[in-house]
Chains A and B, each alone.
Chain A
């Protein structure tokens, strides 16, 4: 193994650990305690996945995201929460690819907002599949408004971290 591959593997493992820790943090200290919206969360894991996407590689980001979802579902979740997370994670990851084609026309703020929104759309789709009903989409408008707000917050978190990453 060359040193660059070791570095990449170590970085991915570290990012996965951070993502799992953030998942856990958001599970034990849910934002819904402060804001009475079930399921409202900052999506701090997306900070890690976005970092990985732009600082390591898109493939690594996909693997870290998938591993994070699988491991946290095994540790703290159930089959239903796994399916919800998987749909959300996949859509958010697809959003990152979409942003890649926009290039420098979008900043980390826009990327975060788009990923948060797509994450919510993915979760609504997962709910529709599990419940055989599209009625869950009635909840989507509220989620999307929060996606904009929380996406801007996570964008503000990503921007300085990415600057540090690039300089390292």
Chain B
């Protein structure tokens, strides 16, 4: 009969809890180091990384265009650019990991990298 809790059930429950603790520890160890979101700028095939917690202004030059990037209150945006389409300026602020600003004419990309947070939807 399968009506009462058996030894096998205890093994399953213990196994699940052990797995939970293991996965928790695996994710805890890297998060002990710095996981704050950072801005990664790719310009002239070079990659630069800035923390977004510090406000600053960066001037980038590539392929004859000049972009002025501002980091402000944990977000980043292109304040001005002399590229023809200005898509990078119009993209606005990026503040979440995975968000990206790309300026095609100058070949400059800005990307926020770091821990992902939040969720988009809940599935059933």
Contacts and interface: CB of A to CB of B under 8 A. Distances in A.
A113 B9 contact: yes
Interface band, chain A = 35 or more
| Interface of chain A, main secondary structure | helix
A141 B24 CA distance: 6
A162 to B, nearest CB: 7
Interface in B1-44: 1-13, 16-17, 19-21, 23-24, 27
A142 B4 CA distance: 26
A117 B16 contact: yes
A125 interface: no
Nearest to A115: B12
Nearest to B2: A107
Interface in A6-52: 23, 26-27, 30, 32, 38-39, 41
Nearest to A136: B116
A148 B18 CA distance: 11
Contact of B122 (A39, A107, A131, A141): A39
B42 to A, nearest CB: 19
B110 to A, nearest CB: 20
Given A137-B27, A141-B21, A163 B3 contact: yes
Contacts of B123: 39, 77, 80-81, 84-85, 123, 126
Contacts of B16: 113-114, 117, 144, 147-148
B115 interface: yes
Nearest to A111: B2
A34 B113 CA distance: 34
Contacts of B10: 110
A136 B103 CA distance: 30
A80 B6 contact: no
A154 interface: no
Contact of B17 (A41, A77, A148): A148
Given A27-B124, A110-B8, A113-B12, A144 B19 contact: yes
A72 B123 CA distance: 11
A106 B116 contact: no
Contacts of A159: 2-3
Interface of A: 23, 26-27, 30, 32, 38-39, 41, 54, 72, 76-78, 80-81, 84-85, 102, 104-111, 113-114, 117, 123, 126, 131, 133, 135, 137-138, 140-142, 144-145, 147-148, 159, 162-163
